[in-house]
Amino acid sequence: MKRISYIVLSLMLAGAVSCSKQNTGLNSAPGGEIRFSAGFDASLLTKAETAYTKEDFAVYGWNTGSTVWSSASSLGTNIFANEKAVESSGMYVTVDNKKYWEEGRYHFVAYGPHMASSPATFEGAGSSFKLKFTDYTTATSVNDLVYSEFATDKIKSDATVALKFHHALSRILFIFTVKDEDKMSSLSSVDKIEIEPISISLQNFLTKGSFSYDGAAASWTGVSTKGNITNSSVVKSQAGYDAYVLPQTLADDSSFSLAYNIVFSSGDSKVTAGPITKENIRFNTGTGGSWTALEMNKQYKVEVKVNAYSQEIEVSQPVEEDWGTASGTIETK
């Protein structure tokens, strides 16, 4: 009888140990889940909000133990590799590969939006570390491309890692207006005239280059491969229609093409004219016929004025602005 009781007791203790191990596994670590906050550098976006409004970003992370980042000769233990992070209750958390704070020093970098096939590569470690996008192509890219500053030497007590993002590309923002709308409306008894763009494409833009960021400065090199950016790469935002391009000085033959409708409204009635197409429209180069170079993290507003009756258009000279000035927001999907 004593032997049976001993066996039962042993089994009960083994079960308790097993449950204890399972619970520890679920809780994973004493520091809680690694989470991120995300925003843009306000000093470079003085007229725009700084909240990160993209759907997600991709994060990389390493742990170098007790070695501080500036002295690290290797990246250490990999924690995150192109992990998608999404917003959850005001913070960003990884979707699949959740990690929890352990001892040691953590280091992070991110880009956005997340891509299944990551464009990011890395060189060196510690003070020689670089983030790179080699042979990045904008002709097939729908979204803006952003990168974060390096967030280094984070420890368990930090709990949340703050990521500060920057735009790696230039943004051309197309604004559509009706030329002399008030005058035309009064002559035709039309209450409202609107332009509804259907598609925009860019011709003869440089579409390929390599990006490098070392923690202090970012740059593009080898910008080349003249090509077209199709409609799939031009997206509608709150401000207008966005095209994301590599920083470059546009050539004399750089142009854009449009397809759009003109909508005439009178009360509840609407009449649509279109689609109307305009091919190979040259940008207004302004006095002297030269372009200002398109810079990284800058937006260039181009106003397209449409005469609703003759269908002729006028194109304004591009105006350089802080990213997001026209809409009051900094980013669109």
**How many domains, the chain?**
2
Write out the two tokens for 39.
């925003």
**Separation of alpha carbons 282 and 179, rounded Å:** 19
Identify whether residues 219 and 175 lie together within a single domain: yes
Give me Rg for the CA atoms of the chain.
Answer: 27
Identify whether residues 174 and 148 lie together within a single domain: no
Q: Could you give the dihedral angle defined by the CA atoms of residues 297, 301, 264 and 231, in that order, rounded to the nearest 10 degrees?
A: -50
Identify whether residues 101 and 195 lie together within a single domain: no
Last residue of a domain, one of 167, 182, 200: 167
Q: For residue 22, is it within any domain?
A: no
Identify whether residues 157 and 290 lie together within a single domain: no
Going by C-beta distance under 8 Å and a sequence separation of 6 or more, which residues neighbour residue 20? none
CA distances from 306 to 88, 161, 193, 303, 309 (A): 43, 48, 10, 10, 9
Q: What angle do CA 268, 179, 195 make, to 5 degrees?
A: 45
Q: For residue 27, is it within any domain?
A: no
The domain spanning residue 255 has which CATH number?
A: 2.60.40
Identify whether residues 163 and 174 lie together within a single domain: no
Q: For residue 6, is it within any domain?
A: no
Residue 47 has a pLDDT of 39
**Separation of alpha carbons 66 and 105, rounded Å:** 6
Write out the two tokens for 298.
């800058």
Identify whether residues 87 and 187 lie together within a single domain: no
Token pair 């280059």 is found at: 209
Identify whether residues 202 and 303 lie together within a single domain: yes
Q: For residue 12, is it within any domain?
A: no
Residue 26 has a pLDDT of 33
Residue 238 has a pLDDT of 60
Q: For residue 156, is it within any domain?
A: yes
Identify whether residues 129 and 253 lie together within a single domain: no
Q: Where does residue 183 rank: exposed (0-12), middle (13-18), buried (19+ CB within 10 A)?
A: exposed
Write out the two tokens for 318.
């591009």
Identify whether residues 174 and 316 lie together within a single domain: yes
Q: For residue 2, is it within any domain?
A: no
Q: Which residue range forms the structural domain that includes residue 310?
A: 170-322
Q: Where does residue 61 rank: exposed (0-12), middle (13-18), buried (19+ CB within 10 A)?
A: buried
Residue 50 has a pLDDT of 62
pLDDT tens string for the chain (333 positions)?
A: 444 444 433 434 444 444 433 333 333 445 799 999 988 765 544 334 466 767 899 999 999 999 999 999 999 999 999 999 999 888 999 999 999 999 999 999 999 999 999 999 999 999 999 999 999 988 766 578 999 999 999 999 998 999 999 899 998 888 888 887 666 666 667 888 888 888 888 999 999 999 999 999 999 999 999 988 876 556 666 667 888 899 998 888 888 998 889 998 888 899 898 899 999 988 876 654 455 689 998 888 889 999 888 888 888 888 888 775 543 333 332
- pTM here is 0.81
Q: Positive or negative, the Cα torsion across 298, 258, 190, 317?
A: positive
Each residue of 190-210: b (16+ CB within 10 Å) or e?
beebbbebeebbbbbbbbbbb
Beta strand extents in 41-169 (DSSP E only): 56-63, 77-88, 91-94, 106-112, 120-123, 130-137, 146-148, 151-154, 160-167
Q: For residue 10, is it within any domain?
A: no
**Separation of alpha carbons 294 and 127, rounded Å:** 30
Identify whether residues 50 and 185 lie together within a single domain: no
Q: For residue 14, is it within any domain?
A: no
**Separation of alpha carbons 34 and 15, rounded Å:** 31
Write out the two tokens for 272.
């649509």
Last residue of a domain, one of 152, 167, 182: 167
Measure CA of the first residue to CA of the last residue in the chain; give whole Å.
Answer: 72
**Separation of alpha carbons 84 and 133, rounded Å:** 18
Q: Is residue 106 a contact partner of residue 79, using CB atoms and an 8 Å limit?
A: yes
Identify whether residues 125 and 235 lie together within a single domain: no
Q: Is residue 134 a contact partner of residue 121, using CB atoms and an 8 Å limit?
A: yes
Identify whether residues 218 and 244 lie together within a single domain: yes
Last residue of a domain, one of 143, 167, 191: 167
